[in-house]
Structure formats: C-alpha cells, structure tokens
Amino acid sequence: MNIYIFPNLDKQNCREYTRQTCKILKNENAQVYMDKKYRGDFGDIEHIIFPDEPQCASSCDVMIAIGGDGTILKCAGIAMEWGKPILGINCGRLGFMASLEHDQLHMLSQLCSGNYSVSRRMMLNIRVISADKETDRCALNDVVISKTQDCKIADFEVSKSGQMISSLRADGVIFSTATGSTAYSMSAGGPIIEPQMECIEFTQICPHSLFARSMILFPDLPIQVKCHCSSGKALVNIDGNLFGEVSQNDKVLIGRSEKYIEIIDITGGSFFNSVNEKLMQPLKDIPEGIIK
C-alpha cells in the first residue's frame, strides 16, 4: 500500500506522532510518501519518498492527515482532486473527522490489511457571480457569508427556485454540509447531523429576531444568497478560509457538488464516539461543587 502522509507540524507533538506513524507503516510494508518540504524534518527516516505534492497524491492509495479537523480540511482539497480517501489522526482538541486518536496508532495495521470502512461525504459547490466574472469553489464543511468589521447593518436574502426562504438582519449566514454541522454552525446554535446525510444546513449568525431557527434544505437545487451591507461589502469564507468579498449586486449560489470526499473509519462509530466523549468532556471536567 502507498500512503501519503500530510502532517501539520504546528500541532503539538505532531512530529512525534508522525514518526510513530511512519515506523508502524514500515513494519506493515507500506510505502510512505511525504511532500519534499518535509525532508528537513523527516529525511532521516530511510523508507520515506519525498517527491512534490502532485506526485505524492497521484502515487498514493490513501492519504493520512495528522493534526486536527483543519488539517483534514486542507488535505481534503488535494484528496478531492485526485479521488483519494483520507484517514485522520487527531493531535488537536476535538477532531470530529479523525478516525484515530494519537494513542490508537497501533490500529494503523488495520488500514494496511483493509480492515476499515469508508464514509462518503457530500461537498458543497459555491458559485460567486459578479458583474464581470463567475468563480466556483468546493467546500467540505461550510460557506459563511458575513458582514465586514466596519459594517453596522447587514440584511440577507436567501432564496431557492425563485422562492424566498428567509429575509433577515444578522451578522451572517452559514450553509454547511452534514460533515460541517459540528463546526461553526453548531457554535451558532445549529443541530448536529449524522455526517453521511446529504443536505444543506442553513444557520443564522446573531440574527435580529426572537424566532430564528436553523433549517435543513434539500441540496439538489442551488440556494441563492444576496447581502446588503451598510459598508457595501460582505465577506465569503469557505472552510474557514477567506475567499473574498461580495457586493450587494453579487450573488452567491450554494448547492451539492458533483465531487465527494471519502473518510476512512478504522475504529467504527467514530462520529458518535466523538460527540459523546468530546462535546460532553467540558462538563465532565468541571470540578465537583461548581455545578449544584
């Protein structure tokens, strides 16, 4: 098996976990690829090949992202283009998309033996239409359209097939996949959705309303969003990265992408384990006597 390792060395202990991963994969007779920019960090490990990123992606059977969910999101863009499945190893805090924690690295033997399942995840296609151009991007988690820092008032119009879904005043709007439901949308009050579901979750950010609720929308017909900001511009962020600005005459269309991402699950039930163990952990960690 050929494996492309995608580490995030900004994460604490990532170097150590990457070295452990490489050692285990060597014992399983797997060929490890890593981008040439990591040669200075791991060049002393003899069985790693260090070509450029396109060759790593084209040569591998599986990609392993070592970091947190942000690392998996970065890796997902490459995996999507080359049609490769991703295994996430978490050395961050939450890591909802990761199949393995750093203390479960011994289970990598199951990856090499084929003893795992694959979860197929829907992605979003985002098209920004302005007067002079159209631009398309894909997202695994979400697209967020929000007011700029110097904007005092922002009004959003959300429609589908010519019918108005919502006309609202808010700091912004979030459109997420089921995979992205545990990210920004959840923090803004949206529900958690089982990640294999194919839908678009619409959640408002700080709406000026007493009756704002998230909505779950069918993904096949594109959702159109227009924003009227007092500053004249709104921000578009895709999977946590700034995509650009849109004016009140621009349109953002959001729908199901033709592309999918495959996430490898070795332990079984990784998503529900993460929800139970990680979302509830802050409550479990509160010392006795604080909550009465």
Q: 69 near 96, Cβ under 8 Å?
A: yes
Structure tokens at 3: 């494996």
150 part of the active site: no
pLDDT of amino acid 291: 45
Share of the chain above pLDDT 70, in %: 94
Q: 252 near 239, Cβ under 8 Å?
A: no
pLDDT tens-digit profile of 30-52?
999 999 999 999 999 989 999 99
Q: 116 near 91, Cβ under 8 Å?
A: no
Q: Quick one: average pLDDT of 113-132?
A: 93
Q: Which residue has the tokens 């791991």?
A: 42
Q: 239 near 216, Cβ under 8 Å?
A: no
pLDDT tens-digit profile of 67-84?
988 999 999 999 999 999
- Quote the CA–CA distance of 170 and 156 in Å, as a whole number: 7
pLDDT for residue 186 is more than 60:
yes
Residue 61 CA to chain centroid, in angstroms? 21
pLDDT of amino acid 231: 81
Measured in degrees and rounded to the nearest 5, phi and psi for residue 59 equal: -85, -20
Residue in 122, 125, 144, 143 with CA at minimum distance from that of residue 135? 125
pTM recorded for the entire structure: 0.89
pLDDT of amino acid 282: 52
Residue 122 pLDDT class (50, 70, 90 cuts): very high
For residues 151-173, b (16+ Cβ closer than 10 Å) or e, as one string?
Answer: beebbbbbbbeeeebbebebebb
Count of beta carbons in the 10 Å neighbourhood of residue 36: 14
pLDDT tens-digit profile of 130-145?
988 999 999 999 999 9
Q: 37 near 96, Cβ under 8 Å?
A: no
pLDDT of amino acid 284: 46
- Quote the CA–CA distance of 267 and 117 in Å, as a whole number: 9
Marked catalytic residue, from 10, 35, 41, 69:
69
Residue in 154, 129, 127 with CA at minimum distance from that of residue 138? 127
For Cα atoms 82, 45, 73, give the angle at the middle one, nearest 5 degrees.
30
Average pLDDT for the chain? 90
Helical segments of the chain, H only? 14-27, 39-42, 53-59, 69-82, 108-113, 184-187, 270-274, 281-284
pLDDT for residue 292 is more than 50:
no
Residue in 13, 39, 83 with CA at minimum distance from that of residue 5? 39
Q: Where are the beta strands (DSSP E) in the chain?
A: 2-7, 31-33, 48-49, 62-67, 86-90, 100-101, 117-129, 134-139, 142-147, 154-160, 163-169, 172-176, 200-205, 215-217, 223-229, 233-238, 241-247, 251-265
Residue 260 pLDDT class (50, 70, 90 cuts): very high
Structural domains in the chain, CATH included, are: 2-116+266-284 (3.40.50.10330), 123-258 (2.60.200.30)
Residue 97 pLDDT class (50, 70, 90 cuts): confident
Residue with more model confidence, 212 or 198: 198
Residue 99 pLDDT class (50, 70, 90 cuts): confident
pLDDT for residue 14 is more than 70:
yes
pLDDT of amino acid 288: 52
